[in-house]
Structure 1
Amino acid sequence: MENKAKDTDGLLALIREGRPMTLGEQLRLTAALSVPAIVTQLSAIIMQYIDAAMVGSLGADASASIGLVSTTTWLFWGLCASVSTGFSVQVAHRIGAGDWGNARSVLRHSVTAVLTFSVALAAIGVSISENLPRWLGGDAAIHAGSSLYFLIFSLFLPVLQLNFLAGGMLRCSGNMRVPSTAGVLMCALDVVFNFFLIFPERELSLGTQSLQLPGAGLGVEGAALGTGLAECVAACLTSWHLFTRSSGLKIQEWHGTHHFPMRTTLKNAVRISLPMGLEHAVICGAQIMTTVIVAPLGITAIAANSFAITAESLCYMPGYGIADAATTLVGQSLGAGRRKLTRRFAYITVFAGMAIMGLMGIVMYAFAPQIIGTMTPVDEIRELGVAVLRIEAFAEPMFAAAIIAYGVFVGAANTLVPSLMNFFSIWAVRITLAAALAPSMGLKGVWIAMCIELCFRGMIFLVRLRGKRWMKV
């Protein structure tokens, strides 16, 4: 592992030092950054998959309680990620230019900014948690569980924000190993915490003997607490490594330094983060609107929709991992002033991601019954979940194009136009079609609309990738 890290550092140094890179070296560097990032993304979605499976064993109401607020949790999650990206992209550009001193300065200033933002966002989440299930049109039977789940999620937002910041900074410096390790650890701890928090005390038979297993029996509340506690451990690991062990970014001195962001740093962060945050808000707003469209279809449809979204994430999370690598490669290449290399890395990452997610789509179609079956024992939910998951499998290659091209544009600090493209695609195509098809086709109509929209989005992102405007930092 240490030799691989040294090899990655050496290849990244070729970018910063302006030395030529062969195609083989470009592919090796892309793979070296992408694989750990994919592991990080997969561990995150596996954690949600575990939550869904554990809570799903409690029945449809418990599953629907989490599914109802899932789009809103993704909204808050995305806002935290966007704010962190506004600073980490600046660090990537400075590292590409070899300016490690200013990179550390941006890092130090970012801590105060992102924690202030996350505390304010947590306060908003707590204040709306009680009424949110009712606003989303959920059945009264699941209001209490949904409200409590979202309340606990909101309280852990500052921890989640710190984890995003530390992981993003390490990735932009080329260190994918530590965020990946932290993600896997978080996934494992989530299983452990959920095991003891979700279920009540129970007896495990071991041949002629039995073992009494402790349990809090908190149900949906236990799932939220388990996830939050796992996030705490991951945040501590990534932050400790970033601030004390990272060879280029560790902070030597905190005392006597200015912790508030400089005007230029904050202005650049807002320029990068604001379009991303607004785009994520309107996309999640569209997802919330989709939830509103799905909610009248009944608890079975809500639960099937939630499980299918979680299952599909196993396919598209590799795309987000490669997009993280693309952001690092493009950011450092542009920071070093190497535009031809920037374009080559953009094409390598996008087309590799399309191939991987296309293969994942085939696997998802073939094994949809087994995937959904592990999350719920309810036949009606399972059958509907399998049907909609197979519809979405056809969109995976073009979804990959949109995801990874967006990561390329983020690395170039070009976020406004791609954000507007996402906004137009999801609102003008997906929501319009979903509203038209849901009354007659039910949940299947909603997912057909999603499939068509993802193909359209991938196409327009590929068109923009061929142009040159996105490289004008």
Structure 2
Amino acid sequence: MSRNEKLNLIVQLSIPSILAQVTTVLMFYIDAGMVGSLGARPSAAIGLVEPATWLIFSLVGAVTMGFSVQVAHFIGADDFAKARAVMRHGYAFGLCFSLLMLLTAFLIAPRLPMWLGGGIDIQHDAMLYFLIFSLIAPFHLIEYMSAAMLKVSGDMRRPSMMAILMCVLDVVFNYLFIFPTRTISLLGVEVTMPGLGAGVAGAALGSLLAFVCVALPLAYYAVFRSPILSWRQDAVRFVWRWQYIWNAMKISAPMALQYLLMNGAQLVSTMIVAPLGNVSIAAHSFAITAESLCYMPGYGISEAATTLVGQSVGAGRRDLCRSFAWMTVSSGMAVMAFMGIVMYVFAPEMIGLLSPVASIQHLGTAVLRIEAFAEPFFAAAIVAYSVCVGAGDTLKPSLINLGSMWLIRLTMAYALASRYGLRGVWFAMAVELTLRGLMFIFYLFRHLRKT
């Protein structure tokens, strides 16, 4: 393949995934904006437990990757029957795991807001949001597993379309569930808009229903309609093989441990921010949501990297593996450098759409502009890690992520928070992401030079 052909393939795989990632973030962005219109307290309630919801989603994602990487390798080797067998194991094991996550969430929910240092005024809403949002776990597993399997088979379009549909449905459902019944003016005509008026709980209910509406049709297509993955093509009886589970665990376990400790670090970061007050909690949460619009293109390119590197490894093409690795990393850095400029320039508008509170807007803008300088190196860390996942190498990259997060970010954030407040926490974040990106570039250079 020529360089232009490789670049064209990266773009073809990345654009649908980028659109899916961006629309997913827009879903959370719009959610945050709707809740933010209710005031600082509801926003702080969601912001307090949001890292805990990310933890559940991340662990489900780690389990999924253990199976999708194997499927990518088998597809690269043209062994579609084994790819489908791994897929069956993935659904069965993943659903059991997601139900375990759901049970754990229900057990810790009553005390979680208190453990995180939230005030009495937001603890009830935070608990309710976390409980309802946790119900998404099994549907997220179905949606994420189906999308991942289709992506590694080369079908980026359908998962991306369904992600966009989920965003639209989430906006509609949240609009109906968050706000009470009210009269609005539409083209000069007074219209009564029905609403549940559930506030914070309504935001979680809307997201839950959107996931349900997307997960089931996506799974149906992956299982029954996909030209490569459809189970109808299997002529022999399904046989359970623990080797597939073991192989998945060798890939997923380091990732799951990483996500557990990385999101645990996010929870510790929230505990550092919580004593700074509701305004800081809300500004911290909104700034993370706003920043995610800028780094989602990096995650979109990273999914293309996992697919291309995984299939190259399965086909035994080490030359393609090295080439796709460097091209995806450099593309991610270029795109996110541009997005960093956008974030710096439009930070006031990005935060302003999320909250009408002036103090939240001012603080959120300041921390976003601090973070903008780290975006290209954040891209290097995101895409290089996905390159390693595609190659089945997850242990050492996970250690890089963990060491950087716990030894650099949290220690700096704790030291700076008391003197510089939320700005100090985000300065620590920017420094850590820059150093992490440099470490991943160095690791990838050494690793690929040996292959």
TM-score, normalization by structure 1: 0.93
Aligned partners of 2:180 and 2:196 also within 8 Å:
yes
SS at match of 1:252: helix
SS at match of 2:250: helix
Counterpart of 2:255? 276
Report the CA distance between 1:209 and its aligned residue. Answer: 4.1
Counterpart of 2:38? 58
Give the AA of the match of 1:184. I
2:69 is the alignment partner of 1:89? yes
- Check 1:274–1:207 CA distance in 2 against 1; reply closer, same or farther (3 A cut): closer
Counterpart of 1:7? none
Aligned partners of 1:414 and 1:471 also within 8 Å:
no
Q: For residues 309 and 208 of structure 2, what CA distance do their matches in structure 1 show?
A: 33
Q: For residues 358 and 402 of structure 1, what CA distance do their matches in structure 2 show?
A: 13
Give the AA of the match of 1:129. A
- Check 1:470–1:117 CA distance in 2 against 1; reply closer, same or farther (3 A cut): farther
- Identity among equivalent positions (%) equals 52
Report the CA distance between 1:220 and its aligned residue. Answer: 0.5
| 159, 162, 167: which one aligns with 2:147 | 167
Report the CA distance between 1:321 and its aligned residue. Answer: 0.7
Q: For residues 234 and 128 of structure 2, what CA distance do their matches in structure 1 show?
A: 38
Report the CA distance between 1:320 and its aligned residue. Answer: 0.7
Gaps of 5+ in 1: 1-20
Report the CA distance between 1:49 and its aligned residue. Answer: 0.2
Report the CA distance between 1:256 and its aligned residue. Answer: 8.4
Gaps of 5+ in 2: none
| 424, 438, 448: which one aligns with 1:459 | 438
Listed one character per residue, the Cα deviations across residues 205-243 of structure 1 (whole Å, up to 9, x for unaligned) are: 346642111000000001001011111112123211111
| 211, 220, 223: which one aligns with 1:240 | 220
- Check 1:154–1:326 CA distance in 2 against 1; reply closer, same or farther (3 A cut): same
Aligned partners of 2:416 and 2:424 also within 8 Å:
yes
Report the CA distance between 1:257 and its aligned residue. Answer: 3.9
Counterpart of 1:384? 363
Counterpart of 2:264? 285
- Check 1:209–1:27 CA distance in 2 against 1; reply closer, same or farther (3 A cut): closer
Q: How does 1:314-463 map to 2 (within 5 A)?
A: 314-463=293-442
Q: For residues 440 and 111 of structure 1, what CA distance do their matches in structure 2 show?
A: 48
Q: For residues 208 and 364 of structure 1, what CA distance do their matches in structure 2 show?
A: 36
Aligned partners of 2:40 and 2:278 also within 8 Å:
yes
SS at match of 1:468: helix
Report the CA distance between 1:126 and its aligned residue. Answer: 1.1
2:225 is the alignment partner of 1:229? no
Give the AA of the match of 1:169. M
Aligned partners of 1:37 and 1:321 also within 8 Å:
yes
- Check 1:259–1:41 CA distance in 2 against 1; reply closer, same or farther (3 A cut): farther
Aligned partners of 1:194 and 1:222 also within 8 Å:
yes
Listed one character per residue, the Cα deviations across residues 340-396 of structure 1 (whole Å, up to 9, x for unaligned) are: 110000011000000000000000000000000000000001000000000000000
Q: For residues 59 and 239 of structure 2, what CA distance do their matches in structure 1 show?
A: 22
Report the CA distance between 1:108 and its aligned residue. Answer: 1.3
- Check 1:208–1:376 CA distance in 2 against 1; reply closer, same or farther (3 A cut): closer
Aligned partners of 1:162 and 1:235 also within 8 Å:
yes
Give the AA of the match of 1:454. L
| 252, 262, 284: which one aligns with 2:232 | 252
SS at match of 1:436: helix
2:104 is the alignment partner of 1:124? yes
Aligned partners of 1:129 and 1:151 also within 8 Å:
yes
Give the AA of the match of 1:351. S
Give the AA of the match of 1:101. A
Give the AA of the match of 2:105. G
- Check 1:470–1:198 CA distance in 2 against 1; reply closer, same or farther (3 A cut): farther
Alignment coverage as a number of residue pairs: 451
Report the CA distance between 1:40 and its aligned residue. Answer: 1.1
| 80, 84, 92: which one aligns with 1:104 | 84
Aligned partners of 1:414 and 1:470 also within 8 Å:
no
- Check 1:197–1:263 CA distance in 2 against 1; reply closer, same or farther (3 A cut): same
Aligned partners of 1:126 and 1:155 also within 8 Å:
no
Q: For residues 357 and 415 of structure 1, what CA distance do their matches in structure 2 show?
A: 24
- Check 1:206–1:413 CA distance in 2 against 1; reply closer, same or farther (3 A cut): closer
Give the AA of the match of 1:377. P
Aligned partners of 1:412 and 1:470 also within 8 Å:
no
2:242 is the alignment partner of 1:263? yes
Report the CA distance between 1:322 and its aligned residue. Answer: 0.6
Give the AA of the match of 1:443. L
Report the CA distance between 1:454 and its aligned residue. Answer: 0.2
TM-score, normalization by structure 2: 0.98
Aligned partners of 1:354 and 1:397 also within 8 Å:
yes
RMSD over equivalenced CA pairs, Å:
1.4
Aligned partners of 1:123 and 1:154 also within 8 Å:
no
Aligned partners of 2:178 and 2:195 also within 8 Å:
yes
Report the CA distance between 1:468 and its aligned residue. Answer: 2.9
Q: For residues 33 and 239 of structure 2, what CA distance do their matches in structure 1 show?
A: 43
